[in-house]
Amino acid sequence: MIPKELAKKIRYLQIRTRKTVNDVLAGEYKSAFRGAGMEFDEVREYQPGDEVRSIDWNVTARQGRPFVKRFHEERELTVIFVVDLSASGGFGSGERSKNDLAAELCALLSFSAVKSNDKVGLILFTDQIERFIPPGKGLSHAMRIIREVMGFSPQGRQTDIAVALDFLGKVIRRRAVVFLISDFLSSGYEKQLRMIGHRHDLIAITVSDVRERALPAVGLLELEDAETGECCLIDTGSAMVRDDYSRLAGEQQGALRNMLRSVGVDQLDVGTEREYQHALAAFFRRRERLRK
């Protein structure tokens, strides 16, 4: 049985994200990703302008005039969500945490996939694999994925992206669209990113909170690392301290962007304090332009 409060949140999220799928992302999702490959469609007589390399020489020889093979894109996709549920995801300085934002993104993309008749699957991870749901079709399957992301209680607290990507490589053999959703507070996973990026269409969605990028001037403030429990006391009343904090955060973000770019992985930044729907639609449109 699903707890009543969780069921209420899931229902609200379903209503909210479905509206976005219909009003904001209509068409963008489907146009942004290629199918799994090309399937044979038919053989027809050659017409001026047809690609010479598409000529079917066997049929041409039998008929005595040129014929060409036609193919169409196999549209059905497999979409995999690889979601970081480490303890740092529970942080949020406003109405929602980073984990809440990750759940919204999974819901939005799941309903987009359902509308396009695509399969969706899920890998939840911390410093270990927490849950794997193989790809499946339909609304009920998508709802199961959303329930798991929103209601799962992980065993681990820290982050190991390399473990998640290694597992993905073992269980998903056929090419898929992979959304890696994390705050990326991890290291040592560049090799796995590169390998998965070659095999699959990998998109990194970085979730963050405004207080991870800038501090308010509120005097002495104790900060705790949610994953390690390490604490430190800083004076946010000092402009120098706040500036150093913002500078270091910016350098970390820049290093992540450069690393992802170097391994050929697309990135989308989203924050708990701002709406992401139009940024996601713009991201899809940008990918569609690059396909042409």
pLDDT score, position 28: 80
Mean pLDDT over residues 139-168, rounded?
95
Q: Categorize the per-residue pLDDT at 281 as very low, low, confident or very high, splitting at 50, 70 and 90.
A: confident
Strand partners, 178: 80, 202
Higher confidence at residue 65 or residue 82? 82
| Residue with tokens 């699959």, as numbered in its chain | 200
Q: Does the structure show a pLDDT above 80 at 1?
A: no
Q: DSSP state, 47?
A: -
pLDDT score, position 196: 96
Domains of the chain: 40-74 (no CATH), 79-291 (3.40.50.410)
pLDDT score, position 35: 54
* Secondary structure percentages of the chain, helix, strand, coil, to 5: 45, 25, 30
Vertex 281 angle, CA 275 and 282, to 5°: 100
Q: What is the mean pLDDT of the chain?
A: 89
Task: Kindly provide the residue ranges of all beta strands, DSSP E only, lying in the chain, ordered along the sequence.
Answer: 37-45, 67-74, 78-84, 119-125, 129-136, 177-182, 201-208, 220-224, 231-235, 266-271
Q: Does the structure show a pLDDT above 70 at 60?
A: yes
Q: Which of 143, 148, 162 is closest to 99 using CA atoms?
A: 148
Q: Does the structure show a pLDDT above 60 at 38?
A: no
Strand partners, 235: 220
* Model pTM score: 0.84
Q: Categorize the per-residue pLDDT at 264 as very low, low, confident or very high, splitting at 50, 70 and 90.
A: very high
Q: Does the structure show a pLDDT above 70 at 99?
A: yes
pLDDT score, position 27: 72
